[in-house]
């Protein structure tokens, strides 16, 4: 039985993945690394520190430190979130669906806390979540399950009774490793990727979620 629901932030609550790609291309270009959109997809779901480490291990650069790049990316993203980010289509419908059922809600994101709170405060959503967790506070980020296990503890709910909404494969793996049920809403270009077939339910849009799908997941 589903006793709590956990949402990823980027690509689930907010339409932010294009902003992350835009910012990563800009910041990494300053150290001579020209990222393509396809390259950016390789790190979708990873936290910012792991993304930087991922690219540095493959294309080490000189000059700026990894910590400097981290600060630049976060600064750019805070500005972008305040000025450009929008809610993901259908999210408010899903949020209201679970609030009407009085099911506790949480956020478990790879983004750092300042990014999470900037987004939630912009749309006055922070009050709706009983727990808000960042994988940057964990020893390991997604696809490691740590952030989801921490979130379940904060919700005082066993992982097996949690339902997760994710958009990335790394997030899907993290939630599955936590023994949680997972709904994925992959990017359009990744929707046919068979790796997402391990999801308990895959949607092309949050607008597709309804009580029939909830009951299906609740009975798994």
Instruction: List residues with catalytic annotation.
Output: 8, 10
Considering Cα of 121, then 151, then 10, then 93, what sign does the dihedral take? negative
Considering Cα of 201, then 151, then 105, then 131, what sign does the dihedral take? negative
Tokens 């339409």: give the residue: 15
Do residues 133 and 107 lie in contact, with contact meaning Cβ atoms separated by under 8 Å? yes
Contacts of 92 (CB under 8 A, 6+ apart): none
How far is it, in rounded angstroms, from Cα 214 to Cα 5?
11
């Amino acid at each position: 039985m589903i006793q709590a629901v956990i949402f990823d932030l980027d690509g689930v609550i907010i339409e932010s993945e294009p902003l992350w790609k835009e910012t990563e291309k800009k910041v990494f270009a300053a150290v001579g690394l020209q990222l393509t959109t396809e390259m950016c997809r390789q790190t979708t779901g990873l936290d910012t520190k792991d993304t930087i480490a991922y690219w540095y291990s493959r294309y080490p650069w000189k000059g700026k430190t990894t910590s400097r790049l981290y600060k630049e990316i976060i600064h750019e993203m805070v500005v972008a979130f305040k000025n450009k980010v929008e809610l993901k289509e259908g999210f408010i419908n899903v949020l209201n669906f679970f609030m009407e059922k009085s099911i506790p809600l949480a956020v478990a994101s790879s983004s750092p806390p300042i990014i999470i709170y900037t987004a939630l405060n912009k749309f006055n959503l922070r009050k709706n979540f009983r727990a808000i967790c960042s994988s940057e506070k964990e020893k390991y980020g997604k696809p490691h399950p740590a952030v989801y296990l921490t979130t379940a503890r904060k919700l005082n709910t066993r992982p097996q009774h949690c339902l997760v909404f994710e958009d990335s494969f790394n997030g899907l793996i993290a939630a599955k490793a936590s023994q949680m049920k997972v709904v994925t809403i992959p990017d359009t270009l990744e929707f046919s990727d068979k790796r997402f077939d391990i999801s308990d339910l895959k949607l092309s849009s949050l607008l597709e979620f309804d009580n029939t799908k909830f009951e299906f997941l609740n009975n798994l």
